[in-house]
């Protein structure tokens, strides 16, 4: 039931990412969602049994699912790293392809050494007393735990530098990464207990496995799906503020361009008045030009001067769509545990 619920969550995340992130060059999050969704789907018992029978009934699907999970965690880490700046060298190393390849090779070798028998949907429960099986599981979850620790560090840094609604995605990623590290510790402890034939300890710890898995996936999904949503909300809020400033500046700008016609009145120069950022930038430039041009008489009240300064700060907050400086100085301005 847990694996089915997690699978549904992951495929919902895939769908939302394909919609919200279409056209974006950065695909690591989408790749992560796809591979983890595939891993969780393969861990559903009916799917697992059917595919493993097709693969010869040797539990080969377990390896496929676990490799997909490791790849998914790798892509998650890469996505978090690209969203952060000035990563420590240890984080870059942990999230590198080299570490992934080493972990995958070690896991495959350990898997091939397991006496796997016939198809079983309780792979580690049935075979976990084998040293090779314990090593196989511990390699996977050690890798996942290390990567998620690095992700937690990156998310914490991003959280400190974010404001407003932008704090929600890194906060969710931080919580999800912490739950993922706890999940890795739980699985590794279960493996050691099983290997030591301490089945009571293993059974007691296994109670935490399902909730930890669900919480990890939920908060990671929430964090990564929340990133494009928060950016969309922030963009819309900024656009509304830009349009408000454009309307408030319109009377001042009209007066400024009346006494000193600017580039927006030159029919030979393209001027995109339908783009709020460009329009606001041009308004500010032409108002400033009229204010500093000694050849014309143009005075603004303190209130209007504060409004112009507020528009400048707004434009500088996310950059302007026009490359000309806002305060132009010249009169001639231009401008598993299976």
Mean pLDDT confidence for 71-100? 84
Considering only residues 59 and 79, tell me which one the structure prediction assigns the higher pLDDT. 59
Q: What is the pLDDT of residues 103-143, one digit of tens each?
A: 999 999 999 999 988 888 888 888 989 999 999 999 999 99
Alpha-carbon distances of 293 from 142, 255, 299, 307, rounded to whole Å: 67, 14, 11, 19
Mean pLDDT confidence for 166-195? 92
Q: CA 11 to CA 6: how far, in whole Å?
A: 9
Considering only residues 26 and 28, tell me which one the structure prediction assigns the higher pLDDT. 28
Tell whether the model's pLDDT for residue 20 goes beyond 80: no
Q: CA 153 to CA 174: how far, in whole Å?
A: 8
C-alpha atoms less than 13 angstroms from C-alpha of 271 in its C-beta half-sphere: 16
Q: CA 66 to CA 38: how far, in whole Å?
A: 10
Q: Other CB atoms closer than 10 Å to residue 13's CB: what's the count?
A: 24
pLDDT on residue 24: 61
Domain 2-233 has CATH 1.10.357: no
pLDDT on residue 227: 67
pLDDT band at 228 (very low <50, low <70, confident <90, very high): low
Q: Which of 10-14, 113-117, 281-285, 323-327 has the lowest mean pLDDT?
A: 323-327
Considering only residues 265 and 175, tell me which one the structure prediction assigns the higher pLDDT. 175
pLDDT on residue 105: 97
Q: Other CB atoms closer than 10 Å to residue 187's CB: what's the count?
A: 26
Domain range list for the chain: 2-233, 260-318
pLDDT on residue 322: 39
pLDDT band at 298 (very low <50, low <70, confident <90, very high): confident
Q: CA 78 to CA 89: how far, in whole Å?
A: 14
Q: What is the mean pLDDT of the chain?
A: 82
pTM (2 decimals)?
Answer: 0.71
Q: Other CB atoms closer than 10 Å to residue 168's CB: what's the count?
A: 18
Asked if 110 and 139 count as a contact pair (C-beta separation under 8 A), the reply is: yes
């Amino acid at each position: 039931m847990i694996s089915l619920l997690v699978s549904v969550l992951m495929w919902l995340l895939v769908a939302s990412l394909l919609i919200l992130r279409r056209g974006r060059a950065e695909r690591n999050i989408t790749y992560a969602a796809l591979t983890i969704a595939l891993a969780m789907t393969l861990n559903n018992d009916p799917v697992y049994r059917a595919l493993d029978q097709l693969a010869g009934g040797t539990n080969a699907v377990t390896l496929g699912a676990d490799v997909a999970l490791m790849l998914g965690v790798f892509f998650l880490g890469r996505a978090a790293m690209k969203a952060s700046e000035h990563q420590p060298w240890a984080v870059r190393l942990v999230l590198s392809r080299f570490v992934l390849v080493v972990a995958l090779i070690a896991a495959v070798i350990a898997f091939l050494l397991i006496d796997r028998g016939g198809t079983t949907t309780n792979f580690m429960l049935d075979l976990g007393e084998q040293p090779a099986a314990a090593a196989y599981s511990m390699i996977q979850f050690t890798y996942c735990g290390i990567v998620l620790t690095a992700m937690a560090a990156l998310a914490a840094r991003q959280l400190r530098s974010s404001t407003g609604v932008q704090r929600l995605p890194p906060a969710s990623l931080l919580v999800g990464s912490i739950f993922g590290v706890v999940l890795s510790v739980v699985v590794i402890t279960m493996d050691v207990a099983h290997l030591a034939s301490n089945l009571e300890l293993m059974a007691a710890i296994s109670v935490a496995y399902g909730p930890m898995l669900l919480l990890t996936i939920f908060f990671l999904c929430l964090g990564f799906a929340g990133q494009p949503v928060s950016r969309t909300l922030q963009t819309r809020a900024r656009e509304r503020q830009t349009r408000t400033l454009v309307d408030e500046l319109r009377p001042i700008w009209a007066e400024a361009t009346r006494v000193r016609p600017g580039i927006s009145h030159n029919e030979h120069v393209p001027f995109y008045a339908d783009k709020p950022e460009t329009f606001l930038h041009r308004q500010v430039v032409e108002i400033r030009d009229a204010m500093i041009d000694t050849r014309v008489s143009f005075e603004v009240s303190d209130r209007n001067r504060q409004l112009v300064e507020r528009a400048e700060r707004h434009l500088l907050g996310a950059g302007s769509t026009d490359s000309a400086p806002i305060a132009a100085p010249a009169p001639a301005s231009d401008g598993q545990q299976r």
